[in-house]
Amino acid sequence: MSQVITIGEPLVVLASTEIDVPLEDVTNFNRYLAGSELNVAVGLSRLNHSVQFITKVGTDPFGKFIKKELKKNNIGIDYVYYDDKHCTGHQIKELVSKGDPFVFNYRSNSAASFIDSAVLDDIDLSETKIAHLTGIFPAISSSAYDTYIELINILKRKNIIITFDPNLRPALWKSKEEMVNTLNYIASKCDIILPGINEGKILVGNTNPEVISDFYLKNPHTRAVVTKLGPDGAYIKQKNKHGFKIDGFKSHVKDTVGAGDGFALGFISGLLENLPFEEAVRRGNAVGAMQVQTYGDNDGYPTPSELNEFIKKQHISI
């Protein structure tokens, strides 16, 4: 039982410790967990919210490492299943002094891609308030997609709020058209959509946050759209209300990986704590700004005291 549930593919990252060295020349790596949905779970747990994670991992050392790390991060593993026929997804990642690092994936036919809807048979949602989904997991296989859609149907029957971050990964899809059509279909079933401004250009054909918002708000299930504007903050529009912008926070950018997930977890934590909608968005901006100041995928996600101190230093109250 948990306040939040999510489904995704956890990855083990072997991250270079040698700055600006091509991966083929790197000899030293650090190992840690990654994956968009897992990042959100880690950050929510760090902010003292209970989370369950649905997935499959291999019985290989990486799969066992993931289970241990999830437990260490106080993330529920009731629905983390072993697959003794397929390996755990992993990736290697550059360390760069500027820009986005190059990442190479080893995730084809991973254990998570062989998940099936049977894993949902015994799921306990009695205390779940929010389910967080992204556009990554349904792209990894047809069985992952089917399981994902079945989970959405279960969540809708139980009136659980669904937040959806499109989180575009074009390399995982057969075509751009399939990606756009599938993700917009999924978005039509969700309550709160969290696109990035550049994702709007691909999914909606426009970078105007008002246009992006109106595109999704025409869906009967969608209550609100929060468009992430990077360092400029976020644009909010709720159904039957005027849209407006919430300014971002100042930060020294080291690595943008995990910033969008940071926004999502900050925002979701605000909803769980019954903050006003715009204050939840402002908290999302804060966590995203904290994450870009670190090199890891989720190293910058704060504890409650760290988050409050960061906000306090910038003279913005939450």
Q: Are 51 and 41 in contact (CB under 8 A)?
A: yes
Q: How far apart are CA 82 and CA 62, in angstroms?
A: 11
How many C-alpha atoms does 76 have within 13 Å on its Cβ side? 21
Whether 261 is a known active-site residue: answer yes
Enclosing H/E stretch for 181 = helix 176-187
Among candidate residues 72, 76, 35, the one with its CA nearest the CA of residue 54 = 76
Q: Are 42 and 301 in contact (CB under 8 A)?
A: yes
Give phi and psi for 132, each to the nearest 5.
-110, 125
* Number of neighbouring beta carbons within 10 Å of residue 231: 16
Give phi and psi for 116, each to the nearest 5.
-140, 165
Pairing of strands 4-7, 11-19: unpaired
Distances (CA, A) of 163 to 39, 62, 134, 186: 15, 29, 8, 11
Structure-token pair, residue 181: 């059509």
Q: How far apart are CA 85 and CA 82, in angstroms?
A: 9
**Between the CA atoms of 125, 127, 130 and 134, what dihedral angle is there, to the nearest 10 degrees?**
-40
Q: Which of 191, 261, 297, 299 is catalytic?
A: 261
Segments of the chain assigned E as strands: 4-7, 11-19, 29-34, 51-58, 80-83, 90-95, 103-106, 130-134, 161-165, 192-193, 224-228, 234-238, 244-246
Catalytic residues: 261
